[in-house]
Every structure is written in C-alpha cells, then in structure tokens.
Structure 1
C-alpha cells in the first residue's frame, strides 16, 4: 500500500469522478442532510457498534434511541 495505508482494519469506499448531475446533488446541503438522516436512521445499530460512515468528510452520527421502562403496572413495559 502507498501513502494512504490504513492503520486499522476496515474497508474504505471512496467514490470520485461522479457524473456532473450527481456531483451537484452532493453539493446541495439539503440533499446531504437528507442522506445523512437516512443513513443514520438505517445504520444506527451498526454505527453504535463501530461502523463509521462519512458523507463529504462529515461523520454520520447514530440516532439516539431511548427506551422508557417502568416498574409500575400502568407504566411503559419492555
């Protein structure tokens, strides 16, 4: 491997030389926000377990999931 040799195990997928229309989409903040949201929601479990996803060099963060549990009979149960 050359200068870009990874120091940890894993797979890196880099997409370049996009069609002009696709490159314009990735330059659109609204599109990138929607893409990040979709990736976050679909991959949150994997991100929490160590998967790293970046779009335009910005990390996709996992969705915070909260589970409400109560010991009371009328409260939320697991």
Structure 2
C-alpha cells in the first residue's frame, strides 16, 4: 500500500491488488479502479493517476510525494 500526495495537496491511498492492478482510495473513503499512471504507466513522481469514474476517465493532479506504508 502507498500513500501519495498530489500537487493540489490531496492525499490518496493506493492498493496493489495484483500485478498491474490498482485501487485508489480518496480522503472520503471512496475506492476506484486505477487505469494507469501518466504516459508510461509507472508509479512515480510527476505523473497523474488515471482512474475510472462513472464510466469515463479522469485523472488526479501530478504526484508530488510517494510514501510506502509498512
């Protein structure tokens, strides 16, 4: 599980379900399926998280910090 902070100051939790399958949870507790990370589809700083919301693609602001929970 990872905790990420985006450029707009929001925090999200990322859960890796399987290899290359992720869920994202926002501050309100809503979980959504992650479709990818930026253009190269890798979790790293500076790229947005692309997710599915009501049958359309939306994205977060760019990731500024990534914290791994132990």
Verify same fold: TM over 0.5.
no
Q: More strand by proportion, 1 or 2? A: 2
TM-score w.r.t. length of structure 2: 0.21
